[in-house]
Structure 1
Amino acid sequence: MRMHYVVFWLCILISFPQYVSAQTRETKSAIGIAFDTTSKPIRFGITHLEKALQKAGQSVKVIPLSVNAATANISIRVLADGTGSTPGKEGYQLRYQNNTLLITAVDATGAMYGAMDVAEQIRMGKSWKTLTSKKVNPHFTVRALKVNLPWSSYRSGPAMEVHKDVCRDLSYWQRMLDQMAENRFNVLSLWNIHPFSFMVKPTNFPEANSFSTKEMADWKQFWTSLFRMAKERGIEPYIVNWNIAVSPEFAKHYGVKERNDTSAVVKRYTREVVTQVINEYPDLAGIGITLADWMSNFKAEGATLPDMTPKDREDWLEETIIAGIKAANRPVKLLHRSVLSADPGEMRRVINNAHLPDTTLVEIKFNWSHGHSTPVLALTHDSHSGKRDDGYWNPLPANYRVQWMIRNEDFFILRWGQPDFIRRHIAQNTASYVNGYFVGSEGYIPAKDYSHVDNAHRTWTYAFEKQWLFYELWGRLLYDPTTPDAVFEASFAHRYGLKSGKLMLEATAAASQMPLRLASFYGSTWDYTLYSEGFLAPFSASKGFQDDVSSFISVNELIAHSPLDPTYVSIKDYVDLIQAKKTLSAGKVSPVTLADWLDADSKTILTHVQQLRSTTNATLICELADLETWAYLSRYFADKLRAGVSLQTYRLSQDRSQQQQAIALLNNCLNHWRKVSELTASHYHEVPYVDGYVSKENAYKDAQYFSWTKFLPQVERDIKLAEQSNVIGEK
C-alpha cells in the first residue's frame, strides 16, 4: 500500500511540469482576431484593439478572413444590409457565438467603431470574453469638424498666419484624422475663400495661380494624401469656399475683381474649375459653398459692390458650382450654407432643380457664432433681425437635411469639457429635419499651439491635442448621446495614470459652465461680439449699451446688456422689477441666481483640484491650473453680477449702502482677476486675437492681442465707475 502511495506521488511530480507548461501555453496563447486585412478603416480599428489586448498582457494573432477564420477568438465581419437585426450605416453589433466575440457591421466604418469599442472596454478593465452584447447605431449621420485653412483665409492676421507651416505638414493631419476617427467624427470640412487655385492648374485658365510645376505637384501630393488618409479612417473630406471669389492672380490677369465679380469669364472659370477638382481628386467627398458677405452690399478696396438678390445668388450657384458638380465624372455631395444672404425658398428651388443623388447638407449656425451658450435656439444667422427663420425646415425638406453649426469663438486657450451641456443640446435640437452637427471656429485654427509657453509639461504637439476632451465629448456624444460619463472618466485615468478620472471630469464639467453661462447671459452675434474666456466684447451686438472704451466688458455694459437665453433676466430689467416690487416670473433666472450657480461651480472646482494636488504628473498639473483659472473666472463673473445689481439699485434709489456694496464686490473682482492673471501668466503667452484686417478698420486696439494680465486696468476701472459714476453711459 505504501509502495502504491509513493508511485502515485512520483507520477504526479513527473507530470506536474507538463501540466504547468500546458496551463502556461493556454494563458499565453495568442488571441486570434479575424478580419478583412485589406480594409484600411478596419485595420485602423484593429490597431487600437491590439494595443488594448497587449496592455492587458495578451498577445494577438491576426487571421485574414480568407484563411480559417473559424479558429478566431474575435471575428469582425461586414455583412450585407437587409435584415432588421443588422446595424445601420456606421453602426455595429457585439455578440457571442460559440465562444467567439462577433463584431458585425454593414460597412467598414461601423466595423472600425466596433473594434474601438471593444478596445475601450478592455482598457476599462473588462475581458474580451465577458463584454455585454449590444447594438449601436449613430444618432446623427453627419458628425463634422470645421477647420479653417490659413491660406486664402477668411480671417487674416497672425492668428491665421502662425499655422501655415503646420497645416502643410501631413503629420498634423494624420494626428487630426486619427483623433477624429477615434472620436467618431465622419466629416472633415476645410474652409477658405478660394481653395481651387491651390488644388489644380486650371486647364483653360492656367493664370489662376502662379505655382511652378514642382509647386503644383507638391500641392497635388498634399491634397491627395490628405483626402486618402481621411477615407482610410471612415471620414469624408469636404472643401468649403466663400462665393463669389477668384485668386489674386486670376483677377489681375483677366482684369476682374477678386470678390463678387459676376462676369462671364468668372462664371465659366468657376464652373470648369469645380469639375476639374472633382475629377482630379477621387477621394474628395463633397464641395461646400457659402453665399457670403460680399454677395450683398460689401465695401472692399474703397468700393461698394453691387447688391445681389437672393435669386441672383442662387442662380449664380446653380450656373457655376452645381453645374460644375454635375459635369464631373463622378458624383460628390453638396453643402449649402445658410448665412446672411440666404433665402430658404430660393435655396429649395435650386436644390430641387439639381436632382443630386445624395442628400444635400444645409448648415445653419446655432445661435450665430456662439453655439457654446444656451442649448435653446435663440437666433439663426440668416436674418439681420436676429430672429429664427424656420423656412429651412417648415415644410419638411425632401432632398436636404439641416446640420447645426456649433461655432466656438469663446474659448481657445483654457481646456473645456461639459458633457451634460452637449447631451442637453442634442436632446433639445434633434428633429426629423436635422441629421448632424458641425463643430469648429472661424477665428481660430486648432493646429500650432501658440498660446502655451515651452516647458517640460507641454507634452502635446498640436493645439487640438491639448483640447482633447473638447473633441472627445463632441464626437462621441454626437455618435451616441447615451455614452456614459464613465467613458470620459476612463480617458482621464488612462491619460494620467489615475485610479479614477471621476474627480477630473466633475471638476472640468463645473469649470466649463463659466463660458456657457456668460454667452447665455451676454447676448452676442458674430465672431468678435464675445470672447467668453477673456470677458471681452470687442464689437457691439446691438443688444445693449457699449461704452466704446475697451473690448473688456465693463460693469456698465454688463448691467445694460440683453441676454441671449430667453430664461435669463438682465441686471437692468431685474433691478427695475425689484424696485417696482414685482415678482420674477416662474422659470426665469435672475442675475443673483446665476451668481449663486457660478459660486457653486467654483466651489466644486477648487475642492476637487485640492484633492488632486498630490499628483506628480506635470501635464495633469497644467490641466489643474486651467481648472483653477476657470474657478476664479466664475467667481469674478459672480461677484460682478452682484456688483451690477447693487450699482444699478444705487443709481435708481440713491441708497449709498448699495454703492458701497458694489464697490466692495468689485474689489473682490479685482482679487479674483489678479489670481486669474497669476495662474495664466505661468502657462500662457499673450496671443493674437482679433482679425488683422478687422482690427485695422474699426476694432478696439486692445483686442488685437490678448492676455488676462493685459486687462487688469479695466478691472480696476470698474471700481472707479462705481465710485464716481451715477448714470450708465458715463465713461
Structure 2
Amino acid sequence: MKLKSNVQMSSVGTMGVIYRGLYFFTANFLAALLFFGHASAASVQLTNDPSTGSPGKFAAEEIQREATGKDIAVSITLSVEKHAAGAPQSYRIERQGDKLRVIGADETGAMYGGLDIAEAIRIGTLDSLKSAEHKPHIAKRGIKFNIPLDLRTPSYSDNSTSAQANIPEMWSMDFWHEFIDHMARDRFNVLTLWSMHPFPSIVKVPEYPKVALDDVWRTTADLVEPFNSFSTRGTGMVKPWMLEKKEVVKRLTIDEKISHWRAVMNYAHERGIEVYWFTWNVFTYGTDGQYGITDALDNATTRDYFRKSIRETVLTYPRLAGIGITSGENMDHKDGQSGKEEWLWATYGEGISDALKKQPERKFRLIHRLHETGLQPILKQWSTYPGPFEVSFKYAVAHMYASRAPSFIQKVLPEITSEHRTWLTVRNDDMYSFRWGDPDFARVFINNMPGPDKLAGFYMGPDGYIWGRDFLSRDAVDANGRRQLVWDRQWFSFNLWGRLSYDPTLPDAHFQRLLGARHPMVNAEKLFAASQASSRIIPQVTRFNWGSIDVHWYPEANLSHPKQFKGFYSVRHFMEGKTMPGEEVLSIGQWREQLRDNKRITKQTPPEVATALESDADATLQLLTELRPQAGVTDKELLLTLADYEAQAWLGRYYAAKIRAAIELAEFNASADATAQVTAMKHAESALAHWKQYAAIYDSQYTPQLLNRVGTADIPALTAKAAEDIEIIRSWKPGTRQN
C-alpha cells in the first residue's frame, strides 16, 4: 500500500490522551486508519472501507467518539459485500480475538454493525461481543412527525404550544442533523412528515406560481382563550386574527426552502433513512383562494392544482421515497368512498404518474391510509398505480401505551395481502412528558404485530404534540444555550422501540446496561426496575379507562376535549367508563353485572386494576428511596429521570384511589348503603392528596402547555377539578344511574 498522505491530527483531552489519524490511499481502495488511546499499548485501529459510504462514515465517527479515552485494544474493520445473500440492512460481525470485522449487506447494514460496536464500547461489553448475524425483524421502522411548517400551511397539531414554538426549528439544519442522527443510532429508517397541505411551503408549481410561499411565519396570538373555536377535523386552522399577529421567524425564498428540504432528505439518505410526506384531504391552506382554488371536491381548478403540485413534489425531490394520503378528514362526497377515491386518484395518482413518465426508472411508494375509507374501494381505484402501493392502519387508535396486542386490526387483516401490505400507524398520545422505559412491553407489542407477509412497516408518533425541540421541560437549555430535543429527554423509550423493532431478541439485560452506562452513580438493576414499574402505570389505566382517540383521553392529565367530550374525567366518568376493546379487563358496570348474576369472573376486575396500579406505584417509590441517596447532585438528567418515575407513581396512586372511589360510588348508587358513600369519600380524599403530590412534582419539571386535542394541560390548576370528585360523591343521590 503506497502512502500518499500522512495527516497528523492531535488533541489532548482532560486525561492527557493523544489521538492520531493516518489516511492511506490506493487506486481501488481507501482506508481510514485511526489510532487513539493512552501512551500504553492500548489502542483502537479502525479501518472503514469506502463501500460503506456515508452511513459507514457516520458509524466510524461514532466508534471513534466512544473509544476516545477508553483503555481498550482492538482492531475494527467496516465493509460491505453487496452481493452477499443478506437481507437489506443486515450485517454480520466476525470476531477473531481482538479483531472485529463488520460486513454489511449494504451501507445501512454496515452502519448498524458499526453502531453495535460503538454501543458495546460505551456500555463495556466489547470483550463479550461475539460473532453473529443480524437482520431486521421489521423492515421499515419509522417516526410519525406532524410538522409545523408555517402558520399558513399547518399540520393537525399547530394550535398548540409545542407546534408554534417549533416552527423555526423545522427550517434549521442543526435540528435535523441532531434528529436524524438520533434516528439512525436507534435504528429507525423511515421519517414521515405529516401536513394538511405542505405544497405552498415546499414546492413551486409553474402553472400556479403565486401559491409558493416565501418566508416562514408563526402567530403570536393567544391560542388558549379561543381554543374551543378550533375544529378537531382540521378545518379553520388558520384564522384571520392569527394572521393579524403574524411573526416572520425566518426570511427564506421558496428556492431556499426547496434547497433546505433537499438537504434534509440528502442527510437522511446518508443515515439510511427514507423520507415521506403524508397529507390529509382536502385542505388548501396557503393557497389563499388564488386561481379559484377551494376545498371543494368538484372544483376542477383544485383538482388540477393538486395534480400539478404532486407532480412537482415528486420531480423536485429525488430523495423523496413516497407519499402517504388520507381520504379525509375534509372529503364529504356525494358518491361516498368511490367518489373520494376517484378524486384522490385524479390528483395524487395522476400527479405521481405524470412525474414518473419523466423518471421511469424511479420507484415511488404510495401509502394509502385505511381511514374513513375501505380497502376494496381503494384497491379498485388504484389498481394501475405505477409503483409500490401499500395501505396503512391505525394500529392502537391513539394509544400505543395501552395493550401489548391491540385487536383492532383483526377485522381487516384477512383482506391484507403480500401484494399490498399494510403499515401500522402507532400513535403515542399518551406520553408527552415522562421518560418511559419498559422493554418487556415494547418487545411483546412488536412481536404481536403482523408478520412480514402482511406488514410493510410502522411509524410511531403523536398527533397532539411535536417531537421537535423540548419546549415543555423547565430545564431544557444547557449552559451553551442549546435546547435539547424531545428525543434527548425521552431517549430511552426511543431506543427501546427502535432497537427492539430491529431485533426483538435483545434482552432486558442489554437495556439495563444502557441505563447503567448513562447513569453510573446508581445501581443499574434498581434503576431499571423503577423504570419498568413506573412505565406500567399509564398502560394499565388506559386499558381500564378507554378513550379511543386523542380527543377522548390524555392520561398524563386525566383530560379529554372540554367541549366535544368529558373534559377532566370525574369519579362518575370512571364509574360509567368502558374498557379497551379486546382486553381482558372489566369495567365497573360489567364487573357488577357479573357479580350480580353469579358468573365466573375470568378477566381483570376493577379492584384488581387498582391493586396493580398501587403495586407498581409502591414499588417505584420504594426503589426511589434506595436510588436517591446514591444519585448525588451532579447528574442532572438522572435527578429529572427519578422525578419522572416518582410523578408517574403518584399518578398511579391517584388513579387507583379514583377507581376505588368509583367502585364504592357505584355500590352506593345501587344500594343506598351509606357506608359505601363514606368509603367512596375517603378514597376520593386520598385521590386528591395523591394528585397534589403529582402536581407538585410535575410542575417542578414541566410547564403548562396547550394541546391541540384537549386544551390546556396545567396539572396544578387541574387540582380544583380533582377536588370536585369529593362533592360529586357527597351530593350523589342513589339511583341516579340506572345499571
Task: Give TM-score scaled by structure 1 length.
Answer: 0.84
Residue 345 of structure 2 aligns with which residue? 318
Q: Which moved more, 1:326-335 or 1:675-684?
A: 326-335
Counterpart amino acid of residue 105 in structure 1: G
Matched, 1:503 2:540: no
Q: Deviations over 1:474-496 (max 9, x none)?
A: 11111111112223222222223
Residues 44 and 567 of structure 1: CA distance in aligned 2, closer, same or farther (over 3 Å): same
* 1:429 Cα offset (Å): 2.1
Q: Aligned ranges for residues 465-544 of structure 1 at < 5 Å?
A: 465-498=488-521, 500-538=523-561
Residue 211 of structure 1 aligns with which residue? 214
Q: Residue 673 of structure 1 is aligned with which of 682, 691, 699?
A: 691
The CA distance in 2 between the partners of 1:514 and 1:603, in whole Å, is 11
Residue 706 of structure 2 aligns with which residue? 688
Counterpart amino acid of residue 258 in structure 2: K
Residues 75 and 454 of structure 1: CA distance in aligned 2, closer, same or farther (over 3 Å): closer
Retained in 1: the 8 A contact 2:537–2:617?
A: no
Q: Deviations over 1:106-129 (max 9, x none)?
A: 11000000001112122222346x
Residue 603 of structure 1 aligns with which residue? 618
* 1:398 Cα offset (Å): 3.8
Matched, 1:126 2:125: yes
* 1:715 Cα offset (Å): 1.5
Residue 170 of structure 2 aligns with which residue? 167
Retained in 1: the 8 A contact 2:371–2:393?
A: no
Q: Deviations over 1:559-594 (max 9, x none)?
A: 11111143111112212333x2614432x0101111
* 1:48 Cα offset (Å): 1.4
Residues 290 and 503 of structure 1: CA distance in aligned 2, closer, same or farther (over 3 Å): same
Matched, 1:394 2:414: yes
Matched, 1:240 2:247: no
Retained in 2: the 8 A contact 1:178–1:233?
A: yes
Q: Which moved more, 1:74-83 or 1:284-293?
A: 74-83
* 1:433 Cα offset (Å): 0.6
Matched, 1:618 2:636: yes
Counterpart amino acid of residue 322 in structure 1: G
The CA distance in 2 between the partners of 1:729 and 1:272, in whole Å, is 59
Matched, 1:47 2:61: yes
CA RMSD of aligned residues (A): 2.5
The CA distance in 1 between the partners of 2:126 and 2:504, in whole Å, is 25
Provide structure 2 residue ranges, at least 5 long, that are not aligned to the other structure. 1-37, 216-250
Retained in 2: the 8 A contact 1:208–1:247?
A: no
SS at match of 2:730: helix
Residue 333 of structure 1 aligns with which residue? 364
Residue 184 of structure 1 aligns with which residue? 187
The CA distance in 1 between the partners of 2:490 and 2:553, in whole Å, is 20
The CA distance in 2 between the partners of 1:499 and 1:605, in whole Å, is 15
Counterpart amino acid of residue 574 in structure 1: W
The CA distance in 2 between the partners of 1:189 and 1:729, in whole Å, is 48
SS at match of 2:391: strand
Residues 413 and 46 of structure 1: CA distance in aligned 2, closer, same or farther (over 3 Å): same
Q: Deviations over 1:586-625 (max 9, x none)?
A: 2x01011111111110111111111111212222111111
Residues 429 and 728 of structure 1: CA distance in aligned 2, closer, same or farther (over 3 Å): farther
Q: Residue 609 of structure 2 is aligned with which of 578, 582, 594?
A: 594
Q: Kindly, what percent of the aligned residue pairs are identical?
A: 26
Retained in 1: the 8 A contact 2:522–2:627?
A: no
Q: Aligned ranges for residues 24-43 of structure 1 at < 5 Å?
A: 27-28=41-42, 30-36=44-50, 39-43=53-57
The CA distance in 1 between the partners of 2:712 and 2:535, in whole Å, is 23
Residues 94 and 655 of structure 1: CA distance in aligned 2, closer, same or farther (over 3 Å): same
Residues 457 and 669 of structure 1: CA distance in aligned 2, closer, same or farther (over 3 Å): farther
Retained in 1: the 8 A contact 2:571–2:725?
A: yes
Matched, 1:364 2:393: yes
SS at match of 1:27: coil
Counterpart amino acid of residue 327 in structure 1: D
Residue 76 of structure 1 aligns with which residue? 78
Residue 384 of structure 1 aligns with which residue? none
The CA distance in 2 between the partners of 1:682 and 1:320, in whole Å, is 50
Residues 728 and 47 of structure 1: CA distance in aligned 2, closer, same or farther (over 3 Å): farther
Higher share in helix: 1
Retained in 1: the 8 A contact 2:390–2:423?
A: yes
* 1:226 Cα offset (Å): 0.6
Q: Aligned ranges for residues 248-263 of structure 1 at < 5 Å?
A: 248-249=286-287, 252-257=289-294, 259-263=295-299
Provide structure 1 residue ranges, at least 5 long, that are not aligned to the other structure. 1-23, 61-72, 297-305, 381-387, 692-702
The CA distance in 1 between the partners of 2:363 and 2:592, in whole Å, is 56
Q: Aligned ranges for residues 59-98 of structure 1 at < 5 Å?
A: 73-83=75-85, 87-96=86-95
Residue 627 of structure 1 aligns with which residue? 645
Residue 9 of structure 1 aligns with which residue? none
Q: Residue 156 of structure 1 is aligned with which of 155, 158, 180?
A: 158
The CA distance in 2 between the partners of 1:508 and 1:729, in whole Å, is 42
The CA distance in 1 between the partners of 2:522 and 2:134, in whole Å, is 28
The CA distance in 1 between the partners of 2:445 and 2:138, in whole Å, is 13
Retained in 2: the 8 A contact 1:188–1:238?
A: yes
The CA distance in 1 between the partners of 2:83 and 2:380, in whole Å, is 33
The CA distance in 2 between the partners of 1:288 and 1:29, in whole Å, is 48
The CA distance in 2 between the partners of 1:210 and 1:338, in whole Å, is 28
Matched length: 650
Retained in 1: the 8 A contact 2:442–2:500?
A: yes
SS at match of 2:432: coil
Residue 15 of structure 1 aligns with which residue? none
* 1:342 Cα offset (Å): 1.4
The CA distance in 1 between the partners of 2:636 and 2:440, in whole Å, is 28
Residues 99 and 519 of structure 1: CA distance in aligned 2, closer, same or farther (over 3 Å): closer
